[in-house]
Amino acid sequence: MQTPPKVGVSACLLGHQVRYDGGHKRNPFLLEALDEHVEFIPVCPETAIGLGIPRPPIRLVGIPEHPRVIGVTDASLDVTGRLQDYAESEVSSYLRLSGFILKKDSPSCGMERVKVYDNTGSSATRKGVGAFARVLMQRLPLLPVEEEGRLNDAVLRENFIARIYVYQRWQHLLSSGLSAASLIEFHTAHKYQVMGHSQAAYQRLGRLISNLSAKPIEDLADEYVDELMSTLKRRVNRKRHVNVLQHIMGYLKKRIGKDDKVELTASIEAYRRGEVPLVVPVTLLRHYFRNHHDPYMEKQVYLSPYPESLGLRNAI
């Protein structure tokens, strides 16, 4: 894509001093690696609703499914409705976003496992979702959302960034004009990307595409993207990547020599054994396809799902 994807982010993660204590939670990966490739849209729900800096701390209280957001030292401070209303008011502007990164453990922004205290404040369970984050995820279920703590996991980090770029390509498809041809082209380009997550899901998506006349294209596209984005949330293990790599290698069997086949097979096997990262066999495949052009494989997102300089496949 020519335009960097727009990604919402809890402002404190970018080093903005907006936390309750006047501090920040600057995230090195976001600012030193990802910042070059995306346009960050910083958001701080707590300051947006008028809470000052510094401010009294707040926390989730009540039942995990429907907690209140209440002051820690002043229980009369209840900002639940204000946070929810703010999130609802901003949802329409977030339609332009291709992803969102939230601050973990936050009573406003936490994506999962946020502490929810009982009414006495004496005990807590980690079953909550921040008030802002809950509305965001409910109202925009397709939007790739992750919290910064989980981005320390190399597989989750790679998965999330890949989903951002897939979703941006989907948004571009819709803005360019949805048609049967454009949907087929999108599906074709993402074949191996989806297959890595689930062979069954790829087949289900294929059946949808093969029956384009069954229903209005808009309805079919809604079904398609629901299945697609849900599938892409699944972790891809080494075995699934090897399966995809071997499928892709099949397009080279009649084009490269015996020694090259041995080298490529050895790199895939080394990856399977955990001796080298995924970037090694993928880079070799891309090298061979540069020398042996294949129009079909040149379209495959799997070989270049995001900017290579992010180095995400160096760690998985």
Tell me, what's the pLDDT at 213?
Answer: 86
Strands of 124-128's sheet in order across = 68-71, 58-61, 114-117, 124-128
Tell me, what's the pLDDT at 1?
Answer: 61
Q: How far apart are CA 206 and CA 285, in angstroms?
A: 25
The mean per-residue pLDDT over the stretch 263-268 comes to 98
Residue 82 has pLDDT above 90, yes or no: yes
Domain spans of the chain, in order of start? 6-152, 153-316
The position carrying tokens 């061979």 is 288
Q: How far apart are CA 133 and CA 100, in angstroms?
A: 10
Q: In this structure, are residues 145 and 99 in contact, taking their beta carbons and an 8 Å threshold?
A: yes
Q: Look at residue 76 and give its three-state secondary structure.
A: coil
The mean per-residue pLDDT over the stretch 104-121 comes to 95
Residue 21 has pLDDT above 70, yes or no: yes
| Mean pLDDT, rounded, of the chain | 96
Q: How far apart are CA 307 and CA 151, in angstroms?
A: 17
Residue 24 has pLDDT above 70, yes or no: yes
Strands of 145-147's sheet in order across = 39-43, 6-10, 99-102, 145-147
Q: How far apart are CA 314 and CA 278, in angstroms?
A: 7
Instruction: Supply the DSSP symbol for 21.
Output: T
pLDDT, tens digit, 9 for 90 and up, residues 148-201: 999 999 999 999 999 999 999 999 999 999 999 999 999 999 999 999 999 999
Confidence band of 120 (pLDDT split at 50, 70, 90) = confident
Q: How far apart are CA 239 and CA 302, in angstroms?
A: 15
The position carrying tokens 């396809």 is 289
Tell me, what's the pLDDT at 2?
Answer: 77
Tell me, what's the pLDDT at 256?
Answer: 95
Residue 42 has pLDDT above 80, yes or no: yes
Helices (H) and strands (E) in the chain, counts: 13, 8
The mean per-residue pLDDT over the stretch 243-259 comes to 96
- 19 compared with 1, residue with greater pLDDT: 19
pLDDT, tens digit, 9 for 90 and up, residues 275-306: 999 999 999 999 999 999 999 999 999 999 99
Q: In this structure, are residues 136 and 129 in contact, taking their beta carbons and an 8 Å threshold?
A: no
DSSP string, 235-302: ---HHHHHHHHHHHHGGGTTTS-HHHHHHHHHHHHHHHTTSS-THHHHHHHHHHHHHS--HHHHT-GG
Buried b (16+ CB within 10 A) or exposed e, 281-298: bbebbeebbeeeeeeebe
Radius of gyration from C-alpha coordinates of the chain: 22
